[in-house]
Amino acid sequence: MSRHAEKFERAVAEALGNPSLQEALLSTTSRKMSQRTEALAELRNADELCDLATQIKRHTLDHLDRYLEQFIEQVEARGGQVHFAHTPEEACELICRIARENECKLAVKSKSMATEEIELNAALQRIGVEVVETDLGEFIVQIDHDRPSHIVTPIIHKNRREIAEAMARELGVKYTEDPEELTGIARRHLRDIFRRCDLGITGVNFGVAETGTICICTNEGNGRLTLTRPRVHVALMGMEKLIPRLADLALFLKILARSSTGQPITVYTTLVTGVAKQPYAGTPEQLHIVILDGGRSDILGGAYHDILRCIRCGACLNACPVYRHIGGHAYNSVYSGPIGKVLTPLLNEHVVHADLPQASSLCGLCLEVCPVRIDIPELLVRLRCEQTRGRMTGFWHRTAFRMATVMLKSPGLYRMGQWMARIALSSGSRDGWVEHAPQPLQSMTDTRDLLAPARRSFRRIWEEGLRDE
């Protein structure tokens, strides 16, 4: 077993053995799922809207070169600057250069998965720029030296006691477990930061090609403060975030928050279009949009093309029976849950996390809840296939499947296999269930009981039935 696979198994075992994590995961994800269902039901034609959104995203990706050109042209025509990063390292370098050229010392950040992807905080800190996360969850993650475990609700894994301890320890405030007081402490602490900051960093939820507009969705208001206080604004945008027209935004805003948190729309949905000719109070003097490739152009046009439709709503995480048990940390990657299982190996050239696509029962819930209809189970099977061919899976794994292939192709061998299984399993069965199977099935019965083999196989019944007739 590879080191990564071992690490993954250990992390899974740890998560499953943590009762407070189990409770937090289950209650939060269940609540989000039911809120999501209700919010989508408020729409007159949710299915039609999701189909339309899917089609628009498909079209945009199929013509991404054209829409990128249009977007760039529009941003530049309105006084914004566009930068291009092929790799995460290049993106960090570009943003560090912008910080240095403008002598920025204190950066505020609004929650952004793309900046997590490129590990921007560490890069800025290396050149002496202090970076402060301003989303409440991300702020707590940052002061507690932790990692986010959900792409929308980053501290889904933490309870109030852990948060209270982190705040008291790191900020030197009085210990309190009251969520309202804890929020107040964070607000006051971050207000001072917002007053002094000189660089604002955000992600981008949607980029509109037609107008060069970027759309940023938040609930707390930190995103708006990040956009309005500092004199320099850097927005990091994955190249797949584009939509063609402003009118399409009306569609995507109707489904994003509904699918994500069950809100009709996020509290603050901000559209930034270029830089004001005479910057008035509350808009930055400079707007830099850094477009990130980071492995996306390798996915584009290939077998996993569809994964680029993702709008990062997080519904597949909340729905996934695996995520709901192991949480986000076990995946040990920026993107967790079903979307992470596909995206992470692809963005990292399968080098790490080759085990992630295996961690799925292929139950299909992620496809069912996806507002842009990404067939994640299908993509997972493709990844597994590729990894098996590329000998990225373990020897026993490959051997077992090779043996299964031989057996399933031959009726005689299949019959013999059935006969052997019946003998092997019958001795240990009780009331129709096998609690402890002998090797090589032993590990299967560690976590579940197996149904004991029927006394008469279906084949036998079929043959006898035919004879009776």
Partner 1 sequence: MSNARGSFMKRVRDAVALRASQDRAPLPEPNHEALRQQADAPDSMAIFKIRAESIGFNVHTVQQSNLSEHIIALLQRHDVRKVAVAPDLPGEDALRAAAGDELSFIDGPFKGDPLFAADAGITGVMAAVAETGSIICSSFPQLSLVPPVHIAIVRANQIVPDFVDIFTHPAGEKPPTQLTIITGPSKTSDIEGILITGVHGPGIVHVCVVEED
Q: How far apart are CA 376 and CA 366, in angstroms?
A: 7
- Cα–Cα dist 173/176, whole Å: 9
Please tell me whether residue 274 binds partner 1 under the rule CB under 8 A: yes
Q: Which is nearer to partner 1, 66 or 430 (CB)?
A: 66
Residue 109 Cβ, how far from partner 1 at the closest point, in Å? 13
* 361 φ, ψ (degrees, to nearest 5): -90, 5
Which phi and psi (to 5°) does residue 265 adopt?
Answer: -160, 155
Q: Are 296 and 308 in contact (CB under 8 A)?
A: yes
Q: What is the DSSP string of 427-465?
A: TTEETTEESSPPTTSTTHHHHSPEEPPPSS-HHHHHHHH
CB of 4 to partner 1, least distance (A): 28
Q: Which is nearer to partner 1, 268 or 414 (CB)?
A: 268
Binding range to partner 1, per CB under 8 A, among 10-18, 271-279, 342-350, 436-444: 271-279
Q: Which range of residues in 2-10, 265-273, 375-383, 461-469 is near partner 1 by CB under 8 A?
A: 265-273
268 near partner 1, rule: CB under 8 A = yes
Amino acid sitting at position 316: C
Applying the rule CB under 8 A, the residues between 161 and 190 that interact with partner 1 are 163, 179-180, 182-183, 186-187, 190
For partner 1, give the closer residue by CB, 1 or 26: 26
CB of 22 to partner 1, least distance (A): 14
Cβ at position 458, least distance to partner 1 in Å: 42
Nearest CA to 401 out of 381, 419, 416, 415 is that of: 381
DSSP conformation letters of 70-92: HHHHHHHHTT-EEEEESSHHHHH
Q: Which is nearer to partner 1, 135 or 355 (CB)?
A: 135
d(CA 18, CA 24): 10
49 is an interface residue for partner 1 by CB under 8 A: yes
Single out the residue of 2, 102, 263, 457 in contact with partner 1 (rule: CB under 8 A): 263
The Cα 422–Cα 319 span in angstroms is: 36
Q: What is the CA radius of gyration of the chain?
A: 26
* Residue 136 CB partners (closer than 8 Å, separation 6+): 183, 186, 220, 222
- Min dist CB 451 to partner 1, Å, is 38
| Smallest distance, partner 1 to C-beta of residue 156, A | 8
Query: Taking a C-beta distance cutoff of 8 angstroms, is the pair 58, 248 a contact?
Result: no
Give the interface segment with partner 1, choosing from 277-285, 338-346, 389-397, 408-416 (CB under 8 A): 277-285
CA angle 284, 285, 290 (to 5 degrees): 75
Burial classification of residue 402, based on how many CB atoms lie within 10 Å of its CB (0-12 exposed, 13-18 middle, 19 or more buried): exposed
Spatial distance between the Cα atoms of 436 and 210, rounded to a whole number of angstroms: 63
Q: Please report, in angstroms and rounded to a whole number, the separation of the first and last CA atoms in the chain.
A: 53
CB-based contact 335:113 (threshold 8 Å): yes
The whole-angstrom separation of Cα 332 and Cα 96 is: 26
Q: How far is the CB of 316 from partner 1 (least distance, A)?
A: 19
Question: And the tokens for 237?
Answer: 């945008």
Task: Select the span of 268-276, 315-323, 346-354, 392-400 touching partner 1 (CB under 8 A).
Answer: 268-276
Per-residue contact string for residues 190-219; x = within reach of partner 1 by CB under 8 A: xx--xx---------------x-x-----x
Q: How far is the CB of 238 from partner 1 (least distance, A)?
A: 12
Report the residue number, 36 or 224, with the smaller CB distance to partner 1: 224
Among 31, 105, 389, 456, binds partner 1 (CB under 8 A): 31
Site mask, partner 1, residues 377-416, x = CB under 8 A?
Answer: ----------------------------------------
Q: Give the interface size with partner 1 as a residue count (CB under 8 A).
A: 96
State the nearest-atom distance from the C-beta of 24 to partner 1, in Å: 7
Any contact of residue 343 with partner 1 (CB under 8 A)?
A: no
Q: Which two three-digit tokens encode residue 92? A: 């960090």
Considering only residues 34, 37, 125, 159, which one is a binding residue for partner 1 as defined by CB under 8 A?
159
Of residues 99-158, which lie at the interface with partner 1 (CB under 8 A)?
A: 134-137, 140, 153-155
Nearer to partner 1, 166 or 392 (CB): 166
Give 352's Cβ-side CA count (13 Å radius): 13
> Which region, judged by CB under 8 A, interacts with partner 1, from 237-245, 327-335, 345-353, 393-401?
237-245
Q: Which of 11, 16, 168, 300 binds partner 1 (CB under 8 A)?
A: 300
> Is 137 or 453 the residue whose CB approaches partner 1 more closely?
137
Residue 16, CA distances (Å) to 22, 322, 447 in order: 7, 11, 12
Please give the DSSP secondary-structure letter assigned to residue 241: G
Site for partner 1 in 64-83 (CB under 8 A): 64-65, 68-69, 72, 78, 82-83
- Out of 43, 127, 352, 441, the residue judged to bind partner 1 by CB under 8 A: 43
